[in-house]
Structure 1
Amino acid sequence: MWRGDFVHCPSLGQLGILRDHVLEVDKKGFMVYIGPASSPEAETRLNSRASVNRIPPGTFLLPTFYDLHLHAPQFLYQGTGLHLSLMEWLNAYAFKAEERIDSSPILARRVYTRLARRLVEHGTGAVLLFGTIREDTNLILAECMKDAGIRAFVGKLSMDKNSRPTYVEMSAERALSAAASFVDKCRSLESAMDPHERLIEPVLTPRFVPTCSEELLVGLGRLSEERGLRVQSHMAEALDQVEWVRQERGLEDIDVFEQSGLLTSRTVQAHCTFLDPPSFLRLAQKGTAIAHCPLSNAYFSAAPFRLREALNSGVKVGLGTDIAGGYDIDIMSAMRHAVTVSRIREGSRHLECAASGARPNEHKSLSIDWKESLYLATAGGADALGLRAGTGQFIVGAPFDAQCIKVVDEETGRGIGSLDFLDNESAGTSAWSLSEEIVEKWWCLGDSGIASISDQYTPCSIHSRHCHLSRLSFQLLPAGEPYNSGQVSP
């Protein structure tokens, strides 16, 4: 049982601040009660418990983040090689790094263990991962995520053309056989565990249209339908990639995926930068979600993603870091970049209207605000993944999946890290009241680093993230089947 302040986003653009609330979680990780601490029912529940985890003033709980697009092997060279176009970058960096990791289990485990640690440090509770083409390497990836207590959707790459000669599957038939085999092996990792303890799920992962034959794509579509499997890929990402598909197939990306049976309600497509509003309507009808990766789009796409149009069309959208096409593993960064790009788009719209003498329609703004981005990073990401209703929020019946954010030091009354609350510093936390302004300040200025955290959080093993992003241990309870993880020390 927890008592203190909680923050979540019940819907797009809505921020819920639950001040001095009581939250109770059952043994399997579902929230069974949440209400004001002053209510009679809350008092009864508090009195019935021998101990209560108290969230101190200056601290609040927030749902953990969902990263909908991350290339695990590319973490090896994160932060380099961003001067090339997409297709050149793949040949110069991505394929080589992935092949190198596939050839060395020791290196793979080192990279994936460190990746899992960084995800924990940055508040990511669930992640949709691209792996490599080798089955055993992807099982190492799954094991590393599982050991860290992260809910991971792991994709073994399927690609049978247009890659390095030594880093490609020899035929569509062999690629399909390997994909089915990986699904079985990945599921067997946790087959002996109760459903609420399972963390890992396999995902069919055609890299993107240029590296997949028609036979492979159609076969993966059939496999997804027969076994109810999730699908992830890249779609309409960059100008050179889009033109490649047009010249080779005479079609658009979205047409190829749809004809292959790979646009489903279990599909997440990354980027979708070159899709127009009619295409968004097609995705909405299919139930296909989009992973918006604003930072990598700035490097590899010739145009910004039409986020507002996608949302207005009813498409489910979450955020992705796209390591290593994006250099920052922190979803906080993805949120900030998503808002920045949208505001630039809105500014450009006003300039175009001014140039033409038209008056901009204020009801058609292209920008999003910080609260909308926070929804995309939490409940919106969970919804895009098709997880249990309520995941990413603090509501009864949903799995408990939280991170602890400390913005003010309880003893000194000073802000943590780069946060300053100079008007109230002398009062400490004695008159503390969490406000939307404080949450916004954290959203803008919160940075990352390791610091200690009170032992009171350890018994429940929740995911801890201060404004200065300290973490000691955490509990991640994924949608659909909550689970109890072990403690993880950074």
Structure 2
Amino acid sequence: MLFRGDFVSSKRLGDLQILHDHLVAVNEQGVITHSEPATSASSRHLLQSDEPKTEIPPGSFLIPTFCDLHLHAPQYLYQGTGLHLPLMEWLNQYAFKAEERIDGDPVLAQRVYERLAERLLESGTGAVVLFGTINENANIILAKAMLSRGLRAYVGKLSMDISSRPTYKEASAQDSLTNAMSFVNNCRALCSDLPETLRTVEPILTPRFVPTCSDKLLTGLGELARDKQLRVQSHLAEAHDQVQWVLQERGVEDIEVFERNGLLTSRTIQAHCTFLPPPSLHKLAHHGTSVAHCPLSNAYFSAEPFRLREALDIGVRVGLGTDIAGGYSIDIMQAMRQAVTVSRMREGQRVIRGDEGRALSIDWKEALFLATKGGAEAMGIQSGIGTFTVSSPFDAQLVRLITVGGTGVGSLDFFDSQTVGGKWVLTEELVEKWWCLGDERNREGIWIQGRKVWPER
């Protein structure tokens, strides 16, 4: 398959690359085999071949799909409601009840998860890290929903042997460990007969967070992660009431609990981390642990913003998360904008205080990197995702800015000519306009591993 047109990507933090009239060739395995200007000799040779061709029309461009590093799949059931309580109360009043309901109703689970997969694709998300529920069967339904729509997904069965809701926990640490390994094996079995390039769903160990996991359970999960080379996800230093609970119950901060149990690794993604001071951020960098930055839910449940600039400066891998339903929007474009907004507020406070040092704000290009290549690196998915380079999987979304008649699509309006010498030219300014104002109306197609997965054929 050949794709000819304009391509946009961010290979490095703060970098934006626009490739005009470019040609990308994708083989049957969904891997990019050619990426050069359409006017090069090798590109002209390919264009003369019988390879199927997709022409990206003027006023449109291809950009990598987004990565969502933190989403509670069962909480999609009540997305957009119940955001008025502190975290620990909110879990009891909303989260645990919804998750228990999903576990007890396979029909409801399938309805919720199939719709979730569709909404993710509509929003341009091609890769997602999912918190599930306790029940293995419900998590297999979740994994199948993601696999059937071609999404890249890490699916996590919750491990929790402690709970403020007595009906929503596992019987013991040993039961929880047995259940976790059972899910890992059965989730992997879903993809075992598929070609390697189509094995897009994987299990991930998921201790919910320290307040719901005994030391015995965390120790066992750390051993599983090490022995089976499994990925891990959890919540770390998210909210004031949660941080204080851990200090009172365990006598140390939760980052120390994770570290001593072998759960801070280069295969770990920790959500939030808003209460981590600089020394703890250095600890994440040392272990290679990634952070899922969820600015919207942090505004609701954290009394502190995440130290994003400081984390990036010391080499912590960071991606963005929606944190449904602690955040109400499933759209990573919103998360990008919110990340910039929060960082600019932090920079304003720095200036008012008269603090010296580097500016704390990030710009839209840096946020775009976090949503694409940076997020893919933080997830640890296939090398090259988030770029249009040779040997990389072709994960892309088609964005349209202007109709054939020259009218802006969706919320976009254009009052000046975007043509040069009679030809429409994609500029950095136009990409920024889409970044600020674009939505699902601008999205016309999604490809993952070279397969068109949205809209459904």
Q: 1:171 to 1:183 in 2, by over 3 A?
A: same
Q: Give the TM-score normalised by structure 1.
A: 0.91
What are the superposed Cα offsets for residues 293-333 of structure 1, whole Å, 9 maximum, x if unpaired? 00000000001100001101110000000000000000000
CA 1:238–1:486: 2 relative to 1, 3 Å: closer
Whole-angstrom distance in 2 between the partners of 1:476 and 1:307: 29
Match of 2:407 in 1: 414
The one of 427, 430, 445 equivalent to 1:435 is: 427
The change in CA–CA distance for 1:470 and 1:27 in structure 2 (over 3 A counts) is closer
Question: Is 1:405 matched up with 2:389?
Answer: no
State the TM-score, normalizing by the size of structure 2.
0.97
C-alpha contact 2:121 2:454 (8 A) present in aligned 1: no
Query: For the Cα contact (< 8 Å) 1:284–1:313, is it kept in 2?
Result: yes
Q: Which residue number in structure 2 is paired with residue 459 of structure 1?
A: none
User: Offset at 1:484?
Assistant: 4.2
Aligned to 1:383: 377
Structure 1 stretches lacking a partner, 5+ long: 354-359, 450-465, 478-482
Deviation of 1:125 after TM superposition, in Å, equals 0.2
Separation in 1, partners of 2:121, 2:16 = 24
SS in 2 for 1:248: helix
- 1:30-49 per-residue CA deviation (whole Å, 9 max, x = no partner) reads 11111111211211121123
Q: Report if aligned partners of 2:372, 2:386 keep a CA contact under 8 Å in 1.
A: yes
In structure 1, what is the Cα distance between the partners aligned to 2:240 and 2:297?
A: 14
Question: Runs in 1 of length 4+ with deviation above 6 angstroms?
Answer: none
Look up the match of 2:323.
322
Task: Letter of the 2:213 partner, please give it.
Answer: C
What are the within-5 Å matches in structure 2 for residues 61-76 of structure 1?
A: 61-76=62-77
Kept in 2, the 8 Å contact 1:65–1:126? The answer is: yes
Tell me the distance in 2 between the aligned counterparts of 1:193 and 1:476: 15
1:357-412 deviation line (CA, Å, top 9, x unaligned): xxx54x500000000000000000000011233211111111110000000112x1
- d(CA) in 1 for partners of 2:22 and 2:171? 58
Task: Give the secondary structure class of the aligned counterpart of 1:189.
Answer: helix
Aligned to 1:475: 447
Contact 1:70–1:323 (CA under 8 A) maintained in structure 2: yes
Question: Post-superposition shift, 1:163?
Answer: 3.1
Number of residue pairs aligned between Structure 1 and Structure 2: 456
Q: Is the 8 A contact 2:294 2:321 kept in 1?
A: yes
1:84-233 matches, within 5 Å, as: 84-233=85-234
2:397–2:444 Cα contact (<8 Å) kept: no
Is contact 2:295-2:339 (8 Å) kept? yes
- Provide the identity percentage: 61
Residues 354-369 of structure 1 mapped to structure 2, 5 A cutoff: 361=356, 364-369=358-363
Q: Secondary structure at the match of 1:14?
A: coil
2:8 alignment partner in structure 1: 7
Cα deviation digits, residues 324-349 of structure 1 (max 9, x gap): 00000000000000000000000000
The letter of the residue matching 2:437 is L
SS of equivalent residue, structure 2 residue 154: strand
Q: Which residue does 1:457 correspond to in 2? A: none
Which secondary structure state, in structure 2, belongs to the residue aligned with residue 263 of structure 1?
A: coil
Q: Distance in 1 between matches of 2:416 and 2:228?
A: 58
2-structure distance, mates of 1:404, 1:163: 45
Q: CA RMSD in A?
A: 1.5
User: In 2, are the aligned partners of 1:414 and 1:420 still within 8 Å (CA)?
Assistant: yes
Cα displacement (A) at 1:485: 6.3
